[in-house]
Amino acid sequence: MPSEKNKQIVKTLKEKLEKAKSVAFAEYTGLSAGDANELRAKIKDASGETLVAKNTLMKVAIEETKDEELKKT
């Protein structure tokens, strides 16, 4: 049984996915802290949002969305 914390995270992710104009998934392993901070700053400057989430919680949130194209990813 999922915890309340994980249910809330999935709910938040789902809401963000449904409101988003576009979504990008990236593997950030190997980036230095400086490079990661620079990337976050550039995304923020472009009025975007950076979010790190567990794969399993993101998969659940995607499955709960109504966006069939997103479900194909």
Annotated domain spans of the chain: 4-71
* In the block, residue with structure tokens 């950076």: 50
**Mean pLDDT, rounded, for 24-53:** 93
State the pLDDT at residue 3.
93
- 3-state secondary structure at position 19: helix
**Which pLDDT band holds residue 51 (cuts at 50, 70, 90)?**
very high
Between residues 28 and 34, the one the model is more confident about = 34
- Please give the model's pTM, rounded to 2 decimal places: 0.80
Question: Is the model's pLDDT at 73 over the cut of 80?
Answer: no
Q: Is the pLDDT of residue 42 over 90?
A: yes
Q: In the chain, what are the helix, strand and coil shares in percent, each to the nearest 5?
A: 60, 0, 40
C-alpha span between 73 and 67 (Å, rounded): 11
pLDDT at residue number 1: 62
Distance set, CA 8 to CA 36, 37, 61 (Å): 26, 26, 11
